[in-house]
Amino acid sequence: MQKIKLAEALLRRKELKEKVMLLTVIKKEALFEVKVQRKNVTDSVDDIIALVPKLTVGQVTSEYDWHARQLRLVDAAIQQTNWTAEVDVQESVMQDYIAPTTA
């Protein structure tokens, strides 16, 4: 187990969250590229376009799963600290707002 500052954990969580969101919305264009393109040779032959995968679905899924797991782990560590850490604040910080009375 490694000890890091809370600020580092918060930054890591942000970084992982961005990566997970990026992997969630991968577009078709990111997974495929055009390798073959054929124009009409005759009136009876249409254009031929072949999409070739750059990555396999398994690669994307594996990377997503890894980043999502890391995000859950760092988030759990932050939440644990959130429930056990105490901070020094002025008493007025925790008071409720009281509207001033007009005389």
Q: What is the residue extent of each domain of the chain?
A: 1-70
Give the integer Cα–Cα distance in Å for 59 and 80: 32
Global confidence as pTM = 0.61
What pLDDT, on a 0 to 100 scale, did the predictor assign at position 10?
93
pLDDT in tens, 34-71: 676 666 666 776 777 777 777 777 877 888 899 999 99
pLDDT in tens, 75-101: 999 999 999 988 888 888 878 888 888
